[in-house]
């Protein structure tokens, strides 16, 4: 008797998904969707847009599954696809804004602490929205590194592999991203990060 899908490796699930076992791909999505969503939200700054980007990333991954190298971690492969989809989203957004002179997208609605007073909850939500907006406003090369390292907890080596840059470049970009983020938040009246 074969082990349940939840106990199989990502590589095994990818191989099963290629044999038209939809449930195997569903398990891969279950395992990695939260990380992909966090990457997308870090780029878009909007939960609704992040859901769309996440969906696009998994659709693209499924279409390209035959090119997945099982010797590499699936999470790095799907993260690279997600970042590419984030860049596509940013390009489409820039084109739409250029042609429609649209206002910036509204920020994601933050989950308030249930133990907080209404005033604290409103303040917390505002601060979280400002942080999300500041992260979304970072240049792409800095945003990618910041989201991967600080939000997703990827190692320096993993971030370098996902982005196709050196570990030193990851370190430098992370330093610059944190400084720029701190500067933006300070200018926005939030103080230090």
Q: pLDDT, tens digit, for every residue of 47-87?
A: 888 899 999 998 898 888 889 888 888 888 999 999 888 88
Residue where one domain finishes, among candidates 90, 108, 126: 108
Residue 45 covered by a domain: yes
Taking a C-beta distance cutoff of 8 angstroms, is the pair 132, 138 a contact? no
Residue 1 covered by a domain: no
Please check whether residues 78 and 161 belong to one and the same domain: no
> The domain containing residue 51 runs over which residues?
7-108
Residues of the chain with pLDDT under 70: 93-124, 128, 188-193
Give me the number of domains the chain comprises: 2
Instruction: Please return the burial class of 170, using the count of CB atoms within 10 Å of its CB with bins 0-12, 13-18 and 19+.
Output: buried
Residue where one domain finishes, among candidates 58, 80, 108: 108
Residue 101 covered by a domain: yes
Check residue 147 and report its DSSP letter.
Answer: I
Residue where one domain finishes, among candidates 60, 91, 108: 108
Neighbours of 69 (CB within 10 A): 10
Can you give the pTM of this predicted structure? 0.56
Please check whether residues 68 and 130 belong to one and the same domain: no
Please check whether residues 20 and 104 belong to one and the same domain: yes
CA distance 74 to 90: 24
């Amino acid at each position: 008797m074969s082990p349940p899908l939840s106990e199989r490796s990502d590589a095994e699930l990818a191989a099963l998904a290629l044999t038209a076992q939809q449930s195997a791909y569903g398990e891969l999505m279950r395992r990695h969707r939260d990380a992909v969503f966090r990457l997308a939200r870090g780029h878009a700054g909007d939960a609704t847009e992040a859901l769309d980007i996440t969906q696009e990333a998994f659709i693209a991954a499924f279409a390209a599954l035959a090119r997945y190298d099982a010797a590499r971690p699936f999470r790095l492969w799907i993260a690279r696809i997600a970042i590419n989809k984030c860049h596509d989203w940013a390009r489409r957004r820039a084109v739409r804004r250029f042609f429609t002179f649209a206002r910036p997208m509204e920020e994601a609605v933050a989950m308030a602490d249930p133990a907080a007073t209404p005033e604290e909850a409103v303040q917390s939500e505002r601060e979280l929205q400002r942080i999300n907006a500041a992260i979304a406003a970072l240049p792409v090369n800095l945003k990618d590194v910041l989201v991967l390292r600080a939000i997703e907890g990827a190692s320096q080596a993993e971030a370098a592999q996902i982005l196709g840059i050196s570990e030193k470049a990851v370190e430098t970009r992370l330093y610059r991203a944190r400084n720029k983020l701190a500067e933006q938040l300070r200018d926005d009246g939030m103080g230090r990060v």
